[in-house]
Structure 1
Amino acid sequence: MSRPVDLLPRRIIQTYSPFSSSSRSSKPCLFCAHQMLSLKSRQFSTTQRRDATVGKMKAISNWDARLPKMHAVKTQMARQGGGKTSAMPDDLGRMPSALVISSATKLPSWLPPTFIKRAKIQWLRLKTAAQDCFSIIYLQWWDAPKDPVTGKRMNKPLEFSNRTEIAKALHRTFNMALAAGDTGTIEKIACTGLLNSAKSRIQRRKRLRAKEEWNLRKYIGINYPRFLQKWPLSALLPGASVRVIQDRLAPLPFPNSSFRQCTVRIDSVQVAKTASMSQRQFFNITEYVVIQKLTLHGKEQDWKLWGTVEPSTMEDIDKIMGSSATSETLATRLRDNFSNATGMM
């Protein structure tokens, strides 16, 4: 019969830290403490040793419990209201890779040596307009969900012929409400970012006790009939006073939900007087107005004014023309914008 192994009593095992002195005791580092625990709890059973080590290491440092838990998008939406319309933000930022081509006078000439570059810009404009038009028709009609009772597709209106009128109405109403300090009207027609900026401007004006005036005298250019706005070539109408520059629709990561932004160029004569002006002045202004609409779980919201943007520079146009994955970039960046706006990961 084998002789049992004699274990040394725990008092005999002593460890000395090289950083300790005879007069003061120091706490061992984490690595030394781990070695001491291994010597003191050495067992012939592997399971008991692992359980003991894991338990003591949790007592030393439990960093996992301090880290915040990450939840999926669906879980966070359920906690924030289940994806209800009232819990969703209405300002998801600007759509990525948005092409806003300025007027013809600011583009390269049709004459050599810039003829080829101007032709490429025109082809990019026509191709982008056709792609955007097809995506809107596909998502609003062909990919629309079916009615559970009748089995027919619940198509949504395309609103191709109403875009310019909607943009003009929102642009005029917002500027008049901003000059009058009517925050109630601005809250109904403006997105969150533009609303906060307008409120700050109104509050600053009240502190200075200054008044502002604004009036739209006329639109500069040709007023084309509405039926010409139904086709993608409307972006090529020459001399239009109000023109659709770009209209894009992209799906959101929710059932039957989408995000639509339309950029409209407005050439007008305005009369304005700001807080820094002594009298009213006339302005010939070209503005690129962005309007947007959200569709959440099949329910369409009203068109809202997102703001104004600057036209794309030649560097931006060259970058878009050199990109070979515009659709993948749009989906990825739009998902990132939505995550940043909602605070989700």
Structure 2
Amino acid sequence: MRTLRTRRVATARLTQQILETGPGAGPQDPDETVVFVHGNVSSSAFWQDTLLDLPERYRAIAVDLRGFGGTDPLPVDATRGLRDYADDLAALLDALHVGSAHLVGWSLGGGVVLQQLRDRPSSVRSLTLVNPVSPYGFGGTRGEDGQLNSPDGAGSGGGAANADFVRLLREGDRGDDSPLSPRQVLATCYVKPPLRPAREDELVAAMLTTHVGDDHYPGDSTVCDTWPGVAPGDRGVLNCLAPTHFRLDDLHTLPVLPPVTWIRGEDDIIVSDTSLFDLAHLGALGVVPGWDGTPAQPMLAQTRHALGLYARAGGRVREVVVPGAGHAVHVERPREFGAALLETLSEGART
């Protein structure tokens, strides 16, 4: 029976907390090492059941990104896009003597592992993307090729966060009275209602490990003249994802093209062509005032476009849609998620 271990690992960049199971420290077969990267406002705890469900032969490692869980809360330089996180991941793999591995990234973590692929393609055996952020960032773009709506990235970045959610997160709210409490966001946005996760209290606690502020979540922002009046700053999580700082439009040119599986919940409302977290779509719905007709970001179409280029260049790409699931497919539908993941791990081992 698999057991979980939690420990902090000193690396060349910072000390990172990991959750792991399977064979212990030391060099491992890269075909049997799987590394999991969580999404925004969460931690490695969201991968706990996935790690326990893997076959015994796999060494599974789930990392807390900087500013989440038990990892050092070093400031996030958003001008580097997701490279602070990807460089941290590379440093962790070095410290653990993992030369290459299968990488699995959820939401924000999907962008992190894509950045790892972009910068260090030989370190990736396979890539599994779980409701990932678009390769063209979050907010502020239009069209499948991610054209900026405004040169300053208006509509994206730290100013796009809901102030009440940020306040309740900062206050460590564990209740469900407010629709914007972390618990209610978990229950209505991370998963599709009426599902309530079996480990809900633990997952809420994981969300509350998020460091809040300009250097972390949501980050700073700037005022601009373009609707909706906010543009990205240079610090913190949401600015890392702004299209002015994060864009991966050349993945198909890499010298190594490991297999990629894109797993997504059909009813995800966070990463969607009609995302309820996209100010442009909220403007069209009348939720954000003064909407000027800016189109919603076609997040799914953008990911499909980028992965289509990757496939035409020779990479193997598979899209797995899970009906009735939301943003956290691995939490909501562990059996279907696990089956798709194992197929990808087998495919990556043959590469």
Q: Please give the TM-score of this superposition, normalised by the length of structure 1.
A: 0.26
Higher relative contact order (CA 8 A, sep 6+): 2
Flag the structure with higher helix content: 1
Rg comparison, structure with higher value: 1
